[in-house]
Amino acid sequence: MSDRKYSVMLTEYEYEVLESNSMISMLCKEQLISKMKRGDEIELSIALGELEELIGFVAAESNHAKSKRKAEDLGKICDYLESLEFAAKRELKVSS
């Protein structure tokens, strides 16, 4: 797996959803501390393996959320992260 870092742009709300989830913030601390403020968005700079790990925890927390709102928020973030993962893997395949 490549050491290349990928840019993940999140709204402040999406970042707060991830950071306020105790499981995600504890297990994905490295991914979340890479944040940089870019206008009204938060940019994370993470490797593909870290992205895959983040996706797994976001999906798990979405499936086990106690409220419909949290489940929906995490589900939408997970879908977005999965689309970034797909694009990154396609780019790696094309360039190799």
Q: What is the pLDDT of residues 47-56, one digit of tens each?
A: 999 999 999 9
Mean of the per-residue pLDDT values of the chain: 94
- How far is the C-alpha of 80 from the C-alpha of 9, rounded, in Å? 10
Alpha helices by DSSP H, the chain: 12-20, 22-27, 29-32, 48-63, 68-95
- Position 91 confidence tier, pLDDT thresholds 50, 70, 90: confident
Confidence (pLDDT) at 96 = 66
Q: Is the pLDDT of residue 21 over 60?
A: yes
Q: Is the pTM here over 0.85, yes or no?
A: yes
For strands 5-11 and 36-38, give the pairing: unpaired
